[in-house]
């Protein structure tokens, strides 16, 4: 069947009108294209169709640089040239903020797009298939794992570990059928957390210690597939990352912004969102502070109170804060169960929040009522951003500017920094 692609959906699929008027979602098709596609089942309110032939290509079409494109679910937008891709991300942020009530009157900036080969954090799926380890990202809309030997978005220092890691996994008795490998590229080198489906044996521990020595990996830890607590298998040196110039010890699998360039763009947009002049005694709250990616840079402008609920992240933030001169203070607090009150918030000149994917719905009512000068919302989910900031709009807050940050290159993910001030 032939289709004319009208627009892109939020997952990056081309959308055409079907014969019954309902939308047809066609992955890898671009707006303006005429394509041939075959029905592939239901998708939400409409139908899915698999692209067969591009009959008339858009000038926005690009040659995908990765041999796994089309199978690997990691990057689904490599068929789109970067300028229209960046414009699509900007438009999606503007749409999300419009849903919250904020008109796009020039407040939404062009995205900061991170370059290929820079991703320093990866959660790779592991499978054992006929005894042979498979390592990679999940296939698009499927539980299958695409076995990778290369990757155009990950830092080459992490890609270099793919082949030797598969080799050592062959012999690990703790890896039976499935697992995952969380790789974080810290300043001290690659940090590896293996989530495996059995207990590591003594022989496994020896194998992993040898593997760490051979490949210059300062630390390898293991955890059960769904367990929270990890056990160190090999520790040859510290596992540290500098955030805002402060060395922070990172726990295995710790959350990091996905690329150094993305982190720099987020930090720059957050700092630019603060009031120009802050009184000498001003304090800033950093909610959902993690290891202190934002707390330590913010400390250059004012004293910072960083709130975090994760035990490992809190321990890292607290340890680094205590050694860094007293400008940052860490508080362990679950902001869903015990959000900061209006009175607590009003003690701050500005509040920065960087919630997880689910957003900050429990914290938003008090924030909306507060009299802080600025709210800087760092978002990794436009749906949660729209829902949460709707409350700010209703309470009289205005949008000063919003910056899309594209650190998951060629994906449909969208991150952003949005800055709000009271209008009434
Ligand atoms: C998107 S990360 C941001 C971390 C940090 N701001 C950064 O840029 O690296 C979200 C953080 O929120 C923390 N978190 C999740 N739920 C929370 C809650 N209910 N209360 C406080 N912190 C929470 C997570 O542990 C994680 O560190």
Is the distance from the beta carbon of residue 310 to the nearest atom of ligand 1 less than 6 Å? yes
Is the CB of residue 118 less than 8 Å from the CB of residue 159?
Answer: no
Let me know whether 149 and 268 are in one domain. no
Rg of the Cα trace of the chain?
23
The answer to the question of residue 73 being in a domain is no
Residue 294: closest CA among 315, 263, 260, 321: 263
Q: End-to-end CA distance of the chain: give it in Å, rounded.
A: 54
Q: Are residues 299 and 374 in the same domain?
A: yes
**Domain CATH number, residue 135:** 2.40.50.1070
What are 134's strand-pairing partners? 127
Q: Is the backbone of residue 32 left (phi > 0), alpha (psi -120 to 50) or beta?
A: left
> Which residue has tokens 């390898």?
220
Rounded to whole angstroms, the Cα distance separating 100 from 195 reads 39
Q: Is the pLDDT of residue 424 over 80?
A: no
Same domain, 151 and 208: yes
- 162 located within any domain: yes
- Per-residue confidence (pLDDT) for residue 311, from 0 to 100: 97
Give the model's pLDDT for residue 226. 85
Tokens of 321: 């804060």
User: Which one of 182, 207, 240 terminates a domain?
Assistant: 240
Q: What is the pLDDT of residues 50-104, one digit of tens each?
A: 999 999 999 999 999 999 999 999 999 999 999 999 999 999 999 999 999 999 8
Q: CATH number, domain at 31?
A: 2.40.50.140
Atom of ligand 1 nearest to the CA of 263: 8
Range of weakest confidence among 228-232, 288-292, 353-357: 228-232
What value does the mean pLDDT take over residues 252-272?
A: 98
pLDDT band at residue 45 under the 50/70/90 scheme: confident
Cα 146 to Cα 252: distance, rounded to the nearest angstrom = 24
Q: Is the pLDDT of residue 141 over 80?
A: no
Residue count of the chain: 424
Q: Is 288 annotated as a binding residue?
A: yes
The residue whose CA is least distant from atom 11 of ligand 1 is: 288
Of 88, 2, 120, 139, which Cα lies nearest the Cα of 79?
A: 88
Q: From the CB of 230, is ligand 1 less than 6 Å away? A: no
Mark whether 303 and 413 lie in a shared domain. yes
Same domain, 103 and 129: no
- Asked whether residue 91 is domain-assigned, the answer is yes
Look at residues 240, 264, 290 and tell me which one is the last residue of a structural domain: 240
Helix, strand or coil, per DSSP, at residue 350: strand
Encode pLDDT of 225-245 as tens digits.
988 899 999 999 999 999 999
Same domain as 170, residue 288: no
Q: How far apart are CA 394 and CA 186, in angstroms?
A: 42
User: CA-to-CA distance for 334 and 344, rounded, in angstroms?
Assistant: 15
**C-beta of 265 in contact with ligand 1 (< 6 A):** no
Q: d(Cα 248, Cα 43) in Å, to the nearest integer? A: 44
**129, β-bridge pairs:** 132
Shared domain check, 229 and 347: no
Computed from CA positions of residues 71, 72, 76, 77, in that sequence, does the dihedral angle turn out positive or negative?
negative
Q: Which domain holds residue 253?
A: 83-115+242-422
Please report the atom of ligand 1 found closest to the CA of residue 266.
8
Domain assignment present for residue 298? The answer is yes
Closest CA to 62 of 410, 355, 414: 410
Quick check: is 71 in a domain? Answer: no
Q: Annotated catalytic sites, by residue? A: 380
Q: Is residue 370 part of a domain?
A: yes
Which atom from ligand 1 is nearest to the alpha carbon of 313? 27
Tokens standing for 332?
């362990």
In the chain, the percentage of residues whose pLDDT exceeds 70 is 100
354 has binding-site annotation? yes
Asked if residue 304 and residue 182 are part of one domain, the reply reads no
Q: Are residues 379 and 415 in the same domain?
A: yes
Query: Which residue has the least CA distance to atom 12 on ligand 1?
Result: 288
Task: With cut-offs at 50, 70 and 90, classify the pLDDT of residue 246.
Answer: very high
Query: Cβ(336) to ligand 1 under 6 A?
Result: yes
Whole-number Å distance between alpha carbons of 282 and 194: 43
Residue in 108, 79, 154, 148 with CA at minimum distance from that of residue 408: 154
Instruction: Please give the tally of structural domains in the chain.
Output: 3
Residue 14, phi then psi, degrees to nearest 5: -70, 140
Specify the pTM. 0.96
Same domain for 247 and 236, yes or no, is: no
Q: Which of 172, 207, 240 is the last residue of a domain?
A: 240
For 180-184, what is the mean pLDDT? Answer: 98
The answer to whether the CB of 216 falls within 8 A of the CB of 186 is no
* Mean predicted confidence (pLDDT) in 246-257: 98
Out of 202-211, 227-236, 344-353, which region has the weakest mean confidence (pLDDT)?
227-236
Whether 294 and 354 share a structural domain: yes
Q: Is 60 annotated as a binding residue?
A: no
67 in a domain, yes or no? Answer: no
**DSSP conformational letter for 301:** T
Mean pLDDT over 189-208 rounds to 97
CA 404 – CA 350 distance, rounded (Å): 21
Residue 68 lies in a domain: no
Mean pLDDT of the 347-354 span: 98
Establish whether 377 is an annotated binding residue.
no
pLDDT digit string (tens) for 99-139? Answer: 999 998 899 999 989 999 999 999 999 999 999 999 999 99
Task: Give the pLDDT mean for 152-180.
Answer: 98
For helices 382-394 and 82-100, angle between their N-to-C axes, nearest 10 degrees: 40
Cα of 262 to ligand 1 centre, how many Å?
17
- Identify whether residues 262 and 285 lie together within a single domain: yes
**For 151-173, what is the mean pLDDT?**
98
CATH code for the domain in which residue 252 is found: 3.40.50.150
CA distances from 148 to 73, 119, 166 (A): 12, 15, 10
Q: Provide the mean pLDDT of the chain.
A: 96
């Amino acid at each position: 069947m032939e289709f004319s692609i009208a627009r892109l959906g939020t997952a990056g699929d081309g959308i055409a009108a079907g014969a019954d008027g309902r939308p047809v979602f066609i992955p890898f098709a671009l707006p303006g294209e005429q394509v041939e596609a075959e029905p592939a089942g239901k998708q939400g309110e409409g139908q899915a169709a698999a692209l067969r032939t591009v009959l008339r290509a858009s000038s926005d079409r690009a040659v995908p640089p990765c041999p796994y494109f089309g199978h690997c679910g990691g990057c689904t937008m490599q068929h789109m040239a970067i300028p229209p891709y960046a414009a699509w991300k900007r438009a999606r942020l503007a749409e999300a903020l419009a849903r919250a009530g904020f008109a796009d009157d020039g407040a939404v900036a062009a995205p900061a797009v991170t370059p290929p080969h820079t991703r320093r954090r990866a959660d790779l799926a592991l499978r054992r298939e006929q005894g042979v380890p498979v390592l990679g990202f999940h296939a698009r809309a499927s539980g299958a794992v695409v076995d990778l030997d290369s990757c155009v978005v990950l830092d080459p220092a992490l890609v270099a570990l793919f082949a030797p890691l598969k080799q050592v996994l062959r012999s690990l008795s703790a890896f039976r059928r499935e697992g995952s490998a969380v790789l974080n590229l810290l300043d001290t080198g690659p940090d590896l957390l293996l989530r495996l489906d059995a207990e590591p044996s003594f022989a496994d521990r020896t194998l992993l210690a040898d593997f760490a020595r051979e490949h210059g990996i300062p630390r390898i830890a293991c955890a059960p597939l769904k367990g929270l607590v990890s056990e160190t298998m090999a520790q040859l040196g510290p596992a540290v990352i500098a955030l805002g110039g402060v060395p922070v010890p990172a726990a295995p699998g710790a959350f990091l912004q996905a690329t150094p360039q993305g982190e720099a763009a987020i930090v720059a947009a957050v700092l630019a969102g603060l009031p120009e002049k802050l009184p000498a005694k001003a304090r800033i709250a950093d909610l959902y502070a993690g290891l202190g990616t934002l707390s330590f840079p913010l400390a250059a402008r004012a004293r910072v109170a960083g709130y975090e609920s994760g035990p490992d992240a809190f321990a890292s933030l607290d340890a680094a804060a205590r050694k860094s001169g007293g400008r940052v203070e860490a508080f362990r607090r679950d902001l869903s169960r015990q959000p900061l009150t209006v009175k607590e918030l009003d003690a701050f000149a500005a509040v920065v929040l960087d919630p997880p994917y689910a957003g900050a719905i429990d914290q938003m009512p008090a924030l909306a009522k507060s009299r802080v000068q600025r709210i800087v919302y760092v978002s990794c989910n436009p749906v949660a951003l729209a829902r949460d900031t709707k409350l700010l709009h209703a309470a009289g807050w205005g949008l000063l500017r919003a910056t899309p940050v594209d650190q998951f290159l060629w994906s449909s993910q969208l991150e952003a920094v949005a800055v709000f001030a009271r209008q009434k």
